[in-house]
Structure 1
Amino acid sequence: MNVLDKDLQQLLASDLEFNRFKDTNFLITGATGLIGSLLIKSILFLNSEKDLNVKVYAIVRNLEKAKGVFGELYNNERLAFVTANLNTDSIDVEDKIDYIVHAAAVTRSKILVEKPVEAMETAINGTKKMLEVAKRDRVRKMVYISSMEIYGRVDSSKKAAELDLGYVDLTNVRSGYPESKRMCELMCNAYASEYRVNVTSARLAQTFGAGILSNENRVFAQFAKSAIDDKDIVLHTEGLSEGNYVYTMDAIEAILLLLLKGKNGEAYNVSNPNSHITIKGMAELVAQNFSKGSKVIIDIPDDSKKYGYAPETHLWLDATKLESLGWNPKNNLTESYAKLIEWIRENS
Structure 2
Amino acid sequence: MLIKSSTYIGDLNEVSLFSFPWERMRGKSVLITGACGLICSCIVDIIMYRNVHFDDNITVYALCRNGKAAKRRFLSYFESGQFVFVKQDVCDKIGLESHIDYIIHGASHAHPAAFANDPVGTMMTNFHGMYNSLRFARENASTRVLFVSSSESYGEITGQMGAVSEDYSGYVNPMDVRSCYPSSKRAAETLCVSFASQYNVDVVVARPSHVYGPSMRSSDSRAISAFIRNVLSENDVIMKSQGTQVRGYCYVVDAASAILSVMLMGESCNAYNVSDKDSILSVKEMADIVAKCGNRNLVISEASVLEKAGFTPVSWQVLDSSKLENLGWKAKTHIKEGISKTLKIMKEASLYK
Task: Return the TM-score normalized by structure 2.
Answer: 0.92
Measure how far apart 1:69 and its partner are. 1.0
Q: Does 1:107 align with 2:116?
A: no
Tell me the distance in 1 between the aligned counterparts of 2:175 and 2:95. Answer: 38
Superposed CA deviations along residues 52-89 of structure 1, whole A, max 9, x for unmatched, are: 222111111122221111121122211111221122x2
Secondary structure of residue in 2 paired with 1:244? strand
Match in the other structure for 1:331: 333
Match in the other structure for 2:89: 85
Contact 1:240 1:312 in 2 (8 A): no
Of the structure 1 ranges 30-39 and 108-117, higher mean CA displacement relative to structure 2 is found in 108-117
Match in the other structure for 1:150: 153
Contact 1:98 1:140 in 2 (8 A): yes
Q: Structure 1's 129 and 233: CA in aligned 2 closer, same or farther, altered over 3 A?
A: same
Tell me the distance in 2 between the aligned counterparts of 1:314 and 1:331. Answer: 22
Secondary structure of residue in 2 paired with 1:75? coil
Measure how far apart 1:323 and its partner are. 0.3
Measure how far apart 1:10 and its partner are. 0.3
Match in the other structure for 1:207: 211
Superposed CA deviations along residues 273-318 of structure 1, whole A, max 9, x for unmatched, are: 1111110111112223x133x3322222362565412224212210
Q: Structure 1's 225 and 84: CA in aligned 2 closer, same or farther, altered over 3 A?
A: closer
- What letter matches 1:208 in structure 2? Y
Match in the other structure for 2:194: 190
Tell me the distance in 1 between the aligned counterparts of 2:156 and 2:219. Answer: 30
Secondary structure of residue in 1 paired with 2:129? helix
Q: Does 1:253 align with 2:257?
A: yes
5+ long unaligned stretches in structure 1: none
Q: Which of 141, 153, 161 is 2:144 aligned to?
A: 141
Measure how far apart 1:230 and its partner are. 5.4
Tell me the distance in 1 between the aligned counterparts of 2:221 and 2:176. Answer: 23
Tell me the distance in 2 between the aligned counterparts of 1:185 and 1:322. Answer: 17
Q: Structure 1's 312 and 259: CA in aligned 2 closer, same or farther, altered over 3 A?
A: closer
Secondary structure of residue in 1 paired with 2:205? strand
Measure how far apart 1:16 and its partner are. 0.7
Tell me the distance in 2 between the aligned counterparts of 1:166 and 1:104. Answer: 24
Superposed CA deviations along residues 326-345 of structure 1, whole A, max 9, x for unmatched, are: 00110110010111010121
Tell me the distance in 1 between the aligned counterparts of 2:118 and 2:257. Answer: 33
Of the structure 1 ranges 110-119 and 50-59, higher mean CA displacement relative to structure 2 is found in 110-119
Match in the other structure for 2:319: 317
Contact 1:69 1:213 in 2 (8 A): no
Measure how far apart 1:22 and its partner are. 1.3
Secondary structure of residue in 2 paired with 1:6? helix
Tell me the distance in 2 between the aligned counterparts of 1:267 and 1:98. Answer: 20
Tell me the distance in 2 between the aligned counterparts of 1:189 and 1:66. Answer: 31
> What pairs up with 1:1-348 in 2 under 5 angstroms?
2-87=6-91, 89-157=92-160, 158-213=162-217, 216-228=220-232, 231-288=235-292, 290-292=293-295, 294-301=296-303, 303=305, 307-348=309-350
Tell me the distance in 1 between the aligned counterparts of 2:62 and 2:232. Answer: 33
Contact 2:113 2:307 in 1 (8 A): no
Contact 2:20 2:261 in 1 (8 A): yes
- What letter matches 1:270 in structure 2? V
Secondary structure of residue in 2 paired with 1:26? strand
Secondary structure of residue in 2 paired with 1:297? strand
Contact 1:4 1:211 in 2 (8 A): no
Contact 1:152 1:313 in 2 (8 A): no
Contact 2:32 2:106 in 1 (8 A): yes
Of the structure 1 ranges 224-233 and 111-120, higher mean CA displacement relative to structure 2 is found in 224-233
- What letter matches 2:164 in structure 1? A
Measure how far apart 1:159 and its partner are. 1.2
Contact 1:155 1:166 in 2 (8 A): no
Measure how far apart 1:107 and its partner are. 2.0
Q: Structure 1's 65 and 291: CA in aligned 2 closer, same or farther, altered over 3 A?
A: closer
Contact 1:211 1:343 in 2 (8 A): no
Of the structure 1 ranges 129-138 and 95-104, higher mean CA displacement relative to structure 2 is found in 129-138
Measure how far apart 1:164 and its partner are. 1.3
Measure how far apart 1:114 and its partner are. 2.7
Tell me the distance in 2 between the aligned counterparts of 1:250 and 1:10. Answer: 10
Tell me the distance in 2 between the aligned counterparts of 1:74 and 1:36. Answer: 17
Contact 2:31 2:63 in 1 (8 A): yes
Tell me the distance in 1 between the aligned counterparts of 2:125 and 2:101. Answer: 24
| Number of equivalences | 345
Task: Return the TM-score normalized by structure 1.
Answer: 0.94
Secondary structure of residue in 1 paired with 2:235? coil
Tell me the distance in 1 between the aligned counterparts of 2:121 and 2:14. Answer: 39
Tell me the distance in 1 between the aligned counterparts of 2:18 and 2:155. Answer: 34
Measure how far apart 1:218 and its partner are. 3.2
